[in-house]
Amino acid sequence: MAEPPPIPPPPAGFGWRSLACLADIIPLFICGHAVARLVADAETLTAYARQQQWLSGFMELYARALSSPGAEANRRIIDHVLHPAAADIEAVVTWTWHVGTVTFLIMLAALTIQEALTGATLGKRIFRLRTAEIPGGGRPPFLSCLMRSAWKSAFFALPNPLFGLLGIVNFHVPLFRKDRRAWHDLWTRTQVVEETRP
């Protein structure tokens, strides 16, 4: 007589899954910004300095508007934000894409390696969750881990409005599904589940 299939572990709740995601992304985001400064070339560092100068100007105008409010102070802030110099715009775009690319690569590597080796990222281990292959329930294959990580990394790291919009929708999909699976879970035939307690 054949044994019945094992009972799958319960799907992770939306709240725990969200906290695990934050525990993964925040340190990697900080690491990506730090590494981006280390690997930047002279042109990119110049863009970073120009962006910081623009931001400093904004903060100075804002502080003045708080200390002596008025129509003129508000107009200066609006003018600073809505009518930046072309060099300022170019600096912001250059630096943002540099940081986004470096952070994407770091997130992609870190998340993929963790899930491929252990079935769980650091955040999932903290909150006692893991990624399971459907239907077997075991650790997902490398390609599934890579695709899951690429989707999450693109959403959080790349400064692309399309990724941002799709990512926000995808983030909320588990709220409306009984199995608590997001799009990237469905595409890769995986599910985030509660780790079985010994």
Name residue 131's beta-bridge partners: 192
Per-residue confidence (pLDDT) for residue 41, from 0 to 100: 93
Residue pair 132/74 in contact (Cβ under 8 Å)? The answer is no
Q: pLDDT digit of tens for each residue in the chain (198 aa)?
A: 667 666 667 888 888 999 999 999 999 999 999 999 999 999 999 999 999 999 999 999 999 888 888 888 889 999 998 999 999 999 999 999 999 999 999 999 999 999 999 989 999 999 999 999 888 778 899 999 999 999 999 999 988 888 888 888 988 888 888 888 898 888 999 989 988 654
Q: Give the model's pLDDT for residue 198.
A: 46
Q: What ranges do the domains of the chain cover? A: 14-40+89-194
Contacts of residue 21, defined as CB under 8 A and 6 or more positions apart, other chains included, come to: 123, 152
* Helix-helix angle 86-118:42-67, to 10 degrees: 110
How far apart are alpha carbons 178 and 9 in whole angstroms?
14
Give the model's pLDDT for residue 6: 63
